[in-house]
Amino acid sequence: MRNDQGVGWFSVETPLPTGGMRIGVTDQGVVSTVAFGAEVGGDADLGADSGPYTGPDLTTEDRRAAAVTAQLAEYFAGRRREFDLPIDWRATTGAQQTVLRTLHRTVGYGTTITYGELADRSGAFDEDPDERGLRAKTVGSIMGSAPVSVLVPCHRVVAAGGIGGYGGGETGLATKRWLLTLEGVLAPTLDWS
């Protein structure tokens, strides 16, 4: 993905434990939710290799930014169960794209799927039964490298024996729990802190 392909950026406030989201859009759709914890109105720390993820800042007057912002607000408020925003898949290829498109298309609000089940459902991997564990780990890596999260519901992919990971570290895991609680997969708990 090159900067000359028209990626515009904006930040959205969220109630997530990670804070705001920095979102990239093109004329084709949402291409990236590359950073959680982005300050609204500021740049996220995208790292040294952020070259292809740079572009002009958009305002909420931009129709794309306004649509994404409105639908995310409705989702986080519990009033939206499905996004009808286009996804620009150009940042994905091969098995990664196949797995993410399968997840996006087939795993709805309030449901989960295991890494292994998603590997099988996507059909992106060799059918060798001895490789099942490797396929599940590969799907875990794909979830961790997904350029678009929340809209592509990586949080709905769980481990066979538990919740699995999400974005690394405790804050990422807290975000996954928050999203799954919002969708009714996990029971709400009291948080006294």
Identify any residues that bridge with 22 across adjacent strands, giving them in sequence order: 11, 35
Please, are residues 178 and 170 in contact by the beta-carbon 8 Å criterion? no
Between CA 12 and CA 95 the distance in angstroms is 29
3 state SS of 12: strand
- Which residue out of 107, 142, 154, 182 is catalytically annotated? 154
Cα angle, residue 8 at apex, residues 88 and 52 outer, rounded to 5°: 75
For residue 113, which phi and psi values (nearest 5 degrees)? -145, 145
Does the annotation mark 9 as catalytic? Answer: no
Helix (H) / strand (E) element for 147: namely none
Write out the catalytic residue numbers.
Answer: 154
